[in-house]
Structure 1
């Protein structure tokens, strides 16, 4: 698949979900590099920076995307020829994609330990990691039930209930605004995440923060399942995660909107859940409290201050 095609599919949400987006970006950079015929390393670096910039602008909120791009891009920092760089990129991209798949499996195993036999679980959106916890618990023989939200306006909940149905898990499907009605019957809330900040705040599909608030009020534990590459290193420096706002046509038919000149449709795709409403974050490295997010960024992702300087240099060079 061509790099621009991948970018278009990420932008249009044909490729959706933070993990899938990250893997697609890593694969796109690998394939793009393999197809280059540059003789000079300077031309190759410039082309790769431009390719990275194309991918980075597609979805501003999911930090799995820049983490994947950064992982691949820094793999050829010491390469002296395009051929050496291509080999390094291929190795890095393949390693990232493989570890991403394994991460979801490990999260499923670790998350299932926090699900008890007989639990009724509420979940929101279509998260590979959250579903892995639920599916693994089911495969272990635990009798569980799930309440899944509709997830307006893109209805990602349909994907979730199909997966749960196919696995033979009893599931109730509710509109997003009914969460408060059902939260007292839930033993546990499990969601995924598109980004986690240095202080443990969780950026996820719009509606997550309201669910977390309802769970907090009802004293229902909230678990967030997230691969470590969804942690946002630049929040260490105080950078805010941009909340993507999508087109009005996802919410209101353009023909109807045309007759409402005084109405503005707002369609943020994500919201921020405070760390104080999250009981546990389950990663492939283990289950941690939100306050340990900074440890993941520093020790596992390996982002020191010098790495930030290098990253900013890469970003600025793409604007030249």
Structure 2
């Protein structure tokens, strides 16, 4: 089944990156809905809600995933007939995928204006949108070179350096712990994010907060590139974003025995305080972290009453 394979691909990180995860989930819902042979609206809604639940459980930290599912499922839940639900599912999934891809290019255009001439950039993890920003600025002749981290333990940095190299960007590949040593050579740091909370804090790949702290100490701008669907509406109600704990084997390697009494802690993400974030760049503009509630309210269209309704609904999914 396509849905089961997609869920497994997301959970196992064969599909990675918040934007890719969101688009993959939207497409999986679209394809799953097209495969159903339901006779009634109620049966179709039940099947789609079960599918949404399966997808939402795969990566608990990436807010883009439940936001994408919410967007697609709104059409299903609001339909009056089976045919309306099927059409809404198809239309909303197509729209989300298109708008998500278009958002990356809009962010790249805005971000490139923030890069000084002959800039030296540092980036962490593998973010499609952050890489698009660097490449766009490089195309405009503004980027001299990039420092890209290894990103232990899953080594997503290897994907980043390949993508930058393919785009003709000169890259220096460094281990994560060398970020502070090279920070004085850098003009700015840019990363993506998996979630932005209501107070402007950024949830991203483990190690991001340390790099942001180093940038803050060195007085280097720390910029986050984030599509608006990565903002986390329910954090306004005090709900915390869970930090995913990955398997120990990612750190130790398969089959390696640890000494008695030793356990492995392998959080996939950390939280960067808004005080260390200079700018968040979205497809609707660039602003300070304190502007996050405005994005949630005015652009994503959430109000307090809908927060409360959605809180009850999404808890059907076990988030």
> Does the pair score TM above 0.5?
yes
Q: What residue number does 1:226 align with?
A: 226
Structure 2 contact 63–230 (Cα < 8 Å) conserved: yes
Helix, strand or coil for the counterpart of 2:295? helix
Q: CA deviation at 1:314?
A: 2.5
Q: What residue number does 2:206 align with?
A: 206
What is the number of residues matched between the two proteins?
318
- The CA distance in 1 between the partners of 2:134 and 2:237, in whole Å, is 35
Q: CA deviation at 1:82?
A: 1.8
Q: What residue number does 1:268 align with?
A: 267
Aligned CA distance change for structure 1 residues 318 and 143 (closer, same or farther; 3 Å): closer
1:115 matched to 2:115? The reply is yes
Tell me the TM-score normalized by structure 1. Answer: 0.97
Q: What residue number does 1:62 align with?
A: 62
Q: What residue number does 1:281 align with?
A: 280
Q: What residue number does 1:5 align with?
A: 5
Q: What is the CA deviation profile of residues 214-265 of structure 1, one whole-angstrom value per residue up to 9, with x for unaligned ones?
A: 0000000100000000000000000000000100000003433x34121100
Structure 1 contact 202–272 (Cα < 8 Å) conserved: yes
Question: Higher mean Cα deviation, 139-148 or 124-133?
Answer: 139-148
Structure 1 contact 235–241 (Cα < 8 Å) conserved: yes
Structure 1 contact 49–314 (Cα < 8 Å) conserved: no
Q: What residue number does 2:53 align with?
A: 53
Query: What runs of 5+ residues in structure 2 fail to find an aligned partner?
Result: none
- The CA distance in 2 between the partners of 1:127 and 1:77, in whole Å, is 32
- The CA distance in 1 between the partners of 2:30 and 2:309, in whole Å, is 21
Q: What residue number does 1:24 align with?
A: 24
Q: CA deviation at 1:35?
A: 1.2
- The CA distance in 2 between the partners of 1:47 and 1:154, in whole Å, is 34
Q: What residue number does 2:94 align with?
A: 94
Q: What is the CA deviation profile of residues 134-193 of structure 1, one whole-angstrom value per residue up to 9, with x for unaligned ones?
A: 000111122421000000000100011111111111110000000010001101000000
Helix, strand or coil for the counterpart of 1:22? helix
Structure 2 contact 120–143 (Cα < 8 Å) conserved: no
Question: Higher mean Cα deviation, 77-86 or 310-319?
Answer: 310-319
1:110-259 → structure 2 map (5 Å cutoff): 110-256=110-256, 258-259=257-258
Aligned CA distance change for structure 1 residues 131 and 39 (closer, same or farther; 3 Å): same
- The CA distance in 2 between the partners of 1:317 and 1:172, in whole Å, is 46
Helix, strand or coil for the counterpart of 2:14? coil
Q: CA deviation at 1:316?
A: 4.3
Tell me the TM-score normalized by structure 2. Answer: 0.97
Structure 1 contact 124–149 (Cα < 8 Å) conserved: yes
Query: What runs of 5+ residues in structure 1 fail to find an aligned partner?
Result: none
- The CA distance in 2 between the partners of 1:263 and 1:78, in whole Å, is 51
Structure 2 contact 118–141 (Cα < 8 Å) conserved: no
- The CA distance in 2 between the partners of 1:93 and 1:229, in whole Å, is 14
Structure 1 contact 15–21 (Cα < 8 Å) conserved: yes
Aligned CA distance change for structure 1 residues 206 and 316 (closer, same or farther; 3 Å): closer
